[in-house]
Chain A
Amino acid sequence: MGKTLFDKIWDSHVVRSVEGGPDVLYIDRHLIHEVTSPVAFLNLERRGLQVFRPGQTVATPDHNVPTEGQDLPIGEELSRHQVEMLSRNCEKHGIPLYGLNHPWHGIVHVIGPELGITQPGMTIVCGDSHTSTHGAFGAVAFGIGTSEVEMVLASQCILQPKPRRMRITIDGRLGPGVTAKDIALYIISKISTSGGTGHFIEYAGSAIRALTMEGRMTLCNLSIESGARGGMIAPDETTFAYIRGREFAPQGDAWEKALAYWKTLKSDEDAVFDSEYRFLAEDIEPMITYGTNPGMGITVSGHVPLLEEVAVAERDNFLKSLEYMGFRPGEPVAGKKVDYVFVGSCTNGRIEDLRAFAALVKGKVKASGVTVWIVPGSKQVEKAAREEGLAQMLEAAGFVLRQPGCSACLAMNDDKIPEGKYAVSTSNRNFEGRQGPGARTLLASPLTAAAAAIMGVITDPRILMEGS
């Protein structure tokens, strides 16, 4: 029987299968940031150990950093302390660190691919749930806890039970104004936040093939929100073209050799998945979440579900969610006032996201009652935005480009949404208090965020698009 892509990569990285237990999985790339690494390093040192493979480790501070005035010392004491600890730990152990103001600095899941560090066929881990992003390159990439960070630092391996395999196939063509973000929110609304639990997802189908690498990253990024361990897409010409020439991509003979191997990375025709779903691209419209988990999503032009439309077991949760969000069952969300718009995060903080936002707001002006934070995912994205004239275009419309960091996605820094305010956010989680105590998050694509920023209310972006 054939193997899935996930099987091929996982199995080839197993050092040993523990009897009645997990696999010992070798890790090709370990990405670290300032929040989940300090305790791991501390424990490593308490055991008198050195980092085993510093050359396969890459670090960047992203969760806690301010997105303004990065050339100044960090004001917030605890944040500053964590960032300093990361610097000290990396220096002590010889780990490459792209810190604040380094030209390659940024959100860890943005810089990995940008620098050609993320490659097909690799196993990649990081102490962050959205590590699944790197799966867009045909890598087995997943988030781990701090103890596991310590394991990888100590041995370049991790103990992990092998997940089951799921395939989600989406064929057809996306309509105008419909993006990878909308695909992701659509999927989670269909399979729920626990639908993928225990599985690793492979995305397939013509609509997936048609996505750019950045679109694929957005989709894989959100795999975790369906409860899956990770998500991946088989590499193809789109993937190879993206990687070619990047800083840490193989070169010359090594490139040819790598390419030959990468071309073998696909699921066999007769591979069997433990679970399969099929969706049609034409059924997907711009989406927005109305509740307090990423699965509570509807079309922007749709309405909050009626109580009758919600499964009995979910109703208590549904009503509690609506109370927090200040919505009523059955009501439309289009037209609702928006107080904040956040464009950024490892989900939608790349150059194509900024281009999409800028294209929609070009020639228009920011609505007066809305505060907008546009946070590029990395210094390279920031640079590209300036070079392409996007920063100027955005400023003309009343927006300001901030500096890279995770920012308002989880609001560990000062970019917090105030209590009770509505924020259309291109990030990945809308849990109660995620963006600040009492904050009301509405997850959406950069296009939907742009429409909200212009109109001041939730708006289907297709209404504002040229030619529609």
Chain B
Amino acid sequence: MAYEKFTTLISTGVPLKSENVDTDQIIPARFLKAVERKGFGDNLFRDWRYDREGLPKAEFVLNDARYSGKILVAGKNFGSGSSREHAAWALYDYGFRVVVSSFFADIFRNNALNNGLLPVVVPPLFLGKIFAAIGHDAATLFRVDLPQQLFTIVGSGESVPFEINMYKKECLMKGLDDIDYLLSMKGEIREFEKRGQ
């Protein structure tokens, strides 16, 4: 319902080397006022992308024409801070389907998984290799194979396995929603409530 099925993605990567990027940077609080899930991509990293006059800041990676793609490569502890799910929506709405890092904050990881955005955790050294590959050639392609749980640097063929909860993996591959799953359990939930009395 909420997102497209995810099996295998081949794309270039956008390098965001900063570490500890918190959700206030991913989507500042003043943009949480929306009552619909539209336009969040426009405000992704707003204060890093644009200056006070609304002009693009040349030095920020999203404004750098060399880099594009559906994979965001991020420094460790990406998504720390507020539980705002808007952060995951903003990334998905902008066009990312994968964020790869060496460490994700819990709430952000959950929010990403619930919204068709795949968080891939790779060892710190491998993350370094990914950044280096992009630095060497911005057109470097990466393959994210969800069924095999493998992240590969296409040019060199180097790959690492990544972990993902079996349930979330199945949901992502089927474009399935947690709510459909819970709704199918209504009877069992009512039984649980009765037992609790």
Contacts and interface: CB of A to CB of B under 8 A. Distances in A.
Given A64-B33, A129-B82, A429-B81, A16 B24 contact: no
Interface stretch (B126-134, B137-145, B150-158, B160-168): B160-168
Given A36-B85, A150-B179, A193-B80, A433 B33 contact: no
Nearest to A76: B33
Contacts of B19: 316-317
B30 A193 contact: no
Contact of B35 (A22, A85, A293, A410): A85
Interface stretch (B4-12, B55-63, B104-112): B104-112
Contact of A35 (B25, B33, B36, B182): B33
A412 interface: yes
A92 to B, nearest CB: 14
Contacts of B192: 15, 26
A145 B83 contact: yes
A155 B179 contact: yes
Nearest to A85: B35
A145 B107 contact: yes
B182 A154 contact: yes
B166 A148 contact: no
B83 A39 contact: no
B34 to A, nearest CB: 8
Given A39-B35, A85-B35, A194-B77, A147 B166 contact: no
Interface string B25-66: 100111011111100000000010000100000000000000
B159 interface: no
B24 to A, nearest CB: 4
Contacts, number: 152
- Residue among A19, A316, A410 with the highest chain B CB neighbour number at 10 A: A410
B125 interface: no
Contacts of B34: 78
A82 interface: yes
Contact of B114 (A18, A148, A224): A148
Interface string B66-89: 000000000001001111111010
Interface magnitude class on chain A? 35 or more
Contact of B185 (A49, A145, A155, A316): A155
B194 to A, nearest CB: 12
B81 A431 contact: yes
A118 to B, nearest CB: 18
A2 interface: no
Contacts of A398: none
A128 B82 CA distance: 8
Given A22-B165, A35-B33, A64-B33, A47 B179 contact: yes
Contacts of A73: none
A79 B29 CA distance: 12
A198 B35 contact: no
A135 to B, nearest CB: 15
A82 B29 CA distance: 14
Given A21-B167, A410-B29, A411-B29, A81 B35 contact: yes
Given A150-B179, A154-B183, A143 B83 contact: yes
A42 interface: yes
A156 B189 contact: yes
B103 interface: yes
A42 B24 contact: no
Contacts of A389: none
Contacts of A79: 33
Contacts of A78: 33-34
Contacts of A154: 179, 182-183
B143 to A, nearest CB: 24
B17 to A, nearest CB: 9
List the 3 shortest-distance A-B pairs measured between CB atoms, nearest first. A21-B167, A20-B166, A145-B85
Interface of B: 2, 19-20, 22, 24-25, 28-30, 32-37, 47, 52, 77, 80-86, 88, 103, 105-107, 110-111, 114-115, 165-168, 178-179, 181-183, 185-186, 188-189, 192-193, 196
Given A36-B85, A82-B35, A151-B179, 9 more contacts: A42-B36, A129-B81, A145-B107, A147-B115, A147-B178, A155-B185, A155-B189, A227-B106, A412-B29
24 contacts: A19-B166, A20-B165, A22-B167, A26-B192, A36-B84, A38-B36, A42-B35, A78-B33, A82-B35, A143-B83, A145-B85, A148-B114, A159-B167, A159-B182, A160-B110, A197-B106, A198-B106, A227-B80, A227-B105, A229-B107, A412-B32, A429-B81, A429-B82, A431-B22
Interface of A: 15-16, 18-22, 24, 26, 35-36, 38-39, 42-43, 47, 49, 63-64, 78-79, 81-82, 85, 127-129, 143-148, 150-151, 154-157, 159-161, 163, 193-194, 197-198, 224, 227, 229, 293, 316-317, 410-412, 429, 431-434, 437
